Structure formats: C-alpha cells, structure tokens
Amino acid sequence: MLGLLGDNGAGKSTLMKVLSGAVVPDQGVLYIDGRLATLKSPRDARQRGIEMVYQDLSLCDTLSVAENLFLGREPVHKIGGLRFVDHRTLHREAARILEGLQVKVPSVQVKVKHLSGGQRQAVAIGRAVSFDPKVLILDEPTAALAVREVEEVLALIRRLRSRGVGVILISHRLQDVMAVTDRIMVMYEGRKVSERMTRDTTLAEVIQLIVQT
C-alpha cells in the first residue's frame, strides 16, 4: 500500500486523476504492468483495473445504498419486452458486496443521506471494489470523520490490502498514512521528492519532506 503525500498544490490529486483516466496529460508517458498505456477516460482506467474514490464520494443522497453501489448498471429483468430493475437481485448483490468487505449499514435499502460519514465512505469504496480493481486510489478517505469512523475506514483499507488490492492513499492525516501503508511517496510542486518504506521513516521526517525544510 502506497501513501501519497504532499502539501496543498503538490500535485497529488492531479497525478491520480491522470492515473484514473479523469485527466489526460499534456506530456509524459504512463506504463501499466510494464507496458506503455494511454488512458483517455475513467472507462479506459477501469478496463486496466484502476478505480478511484474521490474526496466528494460522488454518491447520490436520494438513492439507496444498493442503488448507489450499482448506479448505471442495475440488474434488470424483462416483462413483456420491457426492462425493469430487478430489485431483489440488486439488494442481494449489494448485501453480498458489503458483507464481503465487513461493512455494516442499517440496510442496503436505506437512503445514503441517512448514513454516517464513515458509512458513506464505505459505500463509495464498496462501489469501486465491485468493479474488482487491481489498484484502488483513495483521495482523503478519512477527512472530516469522527475518530471511531476513521478507525473503521482504516480497518476497511487494511482488509482491501489483505485481499490483494493495491491501494494508493492520499491523505493529510499523516498518522493514518503511517499506520496503514507499506511505503510513502512525497510530492512537492508537481514532482516526486522522496520515496521510502514507511517503516524506515518517522513522522517528523515525513513532515520535513512535505514542507521541504
């Protein structure tokens, strides 16, 4: 698991948007699995096994947990030539995904607006994981969460790592990064300035790298 660190404006989110296909770079090259790759859209990245959960989560508050998990790809069945959402399958598959991640919500049928911040974050991560990614990028997943919710999200991130998902964690909460990552990369003004194993550095050293003092 990689922690991507840097001050505001260091280029972390922009770099990850390039990797997730949301931003097409003006120059430079990208290699995936040792091969030159061009990502022109999030769909291209998804086909390469890359998913990103943005800081705003991109959830629809007025839809249920299950509907958010499968938004745009709901299971359907046909009646008289017409297509209808198969709610039974939708709810069953949503419950299966969350159970596999050990995520607890009141019900997959509850609207997202009624969930806590940590539960909302877990739903957003669950949606990304439902695409079976090789790499999952998380942008500030613990921002604005209560202490207990932070621990729940970090535990979820650890479970993803144990399942073999490569996780890139962007966070200003350095204690979270130090707690769950294997290595860190620090950016400054759009460039990588350091990369090291988390166990071989300290919080004080990381702060110095970030502010470049």
Instruction: Check residue 192 and give its pLDDT.
Output: 93
Out of 3.40.50.1980, 3.40.50.20, 3.30.420.40, 3.40.50.300, select the CATH number for domain 2-59+115-211: 3.40.50.300
pLDDT tens for each residue of 19-46: 999 999 999 999 998 999 999 999 999 9
- Give the per-residue pLDDT at 144: 79
Distance CA 157, CA 28 (A): 30
156 with 102: CB under 8 angstroms? yes
* Cα–Cα distance, 141 to 57 (Å, whole number): 9
Is the pLDDT at 213 greater than 70, yes or no?
no
Q: Average pLDDT, stretch 131-140?
A: 94
In the structure, what pLDDT confidence band is assigned to residue 79 with cuts at 50, 70 and 90? confident
The whole-number pLDDT of residue 187 equals 94
Q: Are 163 and 134 in contact (CB under 8 A)?
A: no
**What pTM was estimated for this model as a whole?**
0.90
| Contact status, residue 178 vs residue 198, Cβ threshold 8 Å | yes
* pLDDT tier for residue 182 given thresholds of 50, 70 and 90: very high
Domain ranges of the chain: 2-59+115-211
Write phi, then psi, for 155 (nearest 5 degrees).
-65, -40
Q: Average pLDDT for residues 84-111, to the nearest whole number? A: 93
Per-residue pLDDT of 51-65, as tens digits, reads: 999 988 889 999 999
Residue 192 β-bridge partners:
187
Mean pLDDT lowest for which of 60-69, 80-89, 177-186? 80-89
pLDDT for 78 equals: 83
Mean pLDDT score across all residues of the chain: 92
**Which residues is 37 bridged to in the sheet?**
30
Lowest mean pLDDT among 12-21, 72-81, 135-144, 191-200: 72-81
Mean pLDDT of the region 148-158: 92
